[in-house]
Structure 1
């Protein structure tokens, strides 16, 4: 049975990144009627920031050369570490069980929301590999950050996630779909770009659905 882990990070209950992510998830569920679907809303149910006890778990894993995810619990030696592990274990279980991980996120201040970064920090240990899993980034951005755009160098959202998934988790299969110029919906100074936004938004929904149906 194939499993999709769907993460939402937008602080808005109704947001473009959530809509693009749901387009993928809905198509995936239709294509996999017997599949297992797990949704975690990182804004509604925030993951705690890591603390010193978490770093001690990480240090133990590194010091003892542990690379098997199912052996990480061996690092728990104190009550504080047990408390940190109680937060971490269900997050790791969801991630490890997933065949496809969908990350639906807005761009905040050129990068990802703190809610998503907190999840990333929690589930990350030294030499941790998720090779074989497929990752999808469904994003929304207030401006235009695509290839060739003046603000392309300021994209620390999609590029950060791609680099992280590949560089730390050794994930080779990362797809992305982005809706751009979302601020044109509200900002009078960007009114002339509203049609371009609508085109980007519609294209993102189509591509997300196509990807969901094929994964």
Structure 2
């Protein structure tokens, strides 16, 4: 079994989502002691935002690549390959300004690959990246419902992962992180109970 841990919070040890991703890794390793854990810290080792070269590397066949695209291809493809090779993917996703951190969006941009993680047909889009469990570790300063116009964090992730075929998707969240230490502690306790049921 392979577990992939993605962290995107910029707040270091103060990050609630980093606490959650660690608790999730510990939980799944307890269930699977021989699991391999791959960690990708998008703050310590950020991915660039996509440009013409990286887009071509991600989305076009290798045999069509010109020199600059061919040079970029291995690093870009590695991001997708480690996702596809993982049985459990843990995604640390704090809400920043009503959405996700741009570092995390850059990671998602490398997963949406036509013909690999999704395809189109007359019947509409079809996701091809099922067969793995994705758990989103979410933290938000206030409280939000997913139908609120300001909620563009969890809803974005739910839409994206659903689009590429992930149907085993879970959210473990701590809300009211802006309300102070007591609210955070209560949120983490509730999150631990949810993690225990995964």
Range of TM-score over shorter length: 0.7 to 0.9
Q: Which has the higher strand share?
A: 2
Structure with more contact order per residue of length (Cα contacts < 8 Å, sep ≥ 6): 1
1:104 aligns with 2:96: no
- For the structure 1 residues 58 and 22, does the alpha-carbon distance in structure 2 shift closer, same or farther, using more than 3 Å as the test? closer
Match of 2:23, SS state, is helix
1:208 aligns with 2:188: no
Counterparts of 1:160-199 in structure 2, within 5 Å, are 160-167=156-163, 169-185=164-180, 195-199=182-186
Match of 1:87 among 75, 85, 110: 75
Relative to the length of structure 2, the TM-score reads 0.86
Deviations 1:135-167 (A, max 9, x none): 11111101111468xxx4321111100100011
Aligned mates of 1:154, 1:106 — CA distance in 2? 14
Contact 1:136 1:176 in 2 (8 A): yes
Unmatched 5+ stretches in structure 2: 118-127
Relative to the length of structure 1, the TM-score reads 0.79
Corresponding residue for 2:37?
Answer: 37
Match of 1:91, SS state, is helix
Contact 2:58 2:110 in 1 (8 A): no
Corresponding residue for 1:131?
Answer: 130
Unmatched 5+ stretches in structure 1: 61-71, 186-193
- For the structure 1 residues 33 and 200, does the alpha-carbon distance in structure 2 shift closer, same or farther, using more than 3 Å as the test? same
Structure of larger gyration radius: 1
Aligned mates of 1:74, 1:103 — CA distance in 2? 32
Aligned mates of 1:180, 1:118 — CA distance in 2? 24
Deviation at 1:55, TM superposition (A): 2.8
Q: Which has the higher helix share?
A: 1
RMSD: 1.9
| Count of matched residue pairs | 186
Match of 1:78 among 60, 63, 66: 66
Match of 2:107, SS state, is helix
Deviation at 1:54, TM superposition (A): 2.6
Match of 2:46, SS state, is coil
Aligned mates of 2:59, 2:42 — CA distance in 1? 26
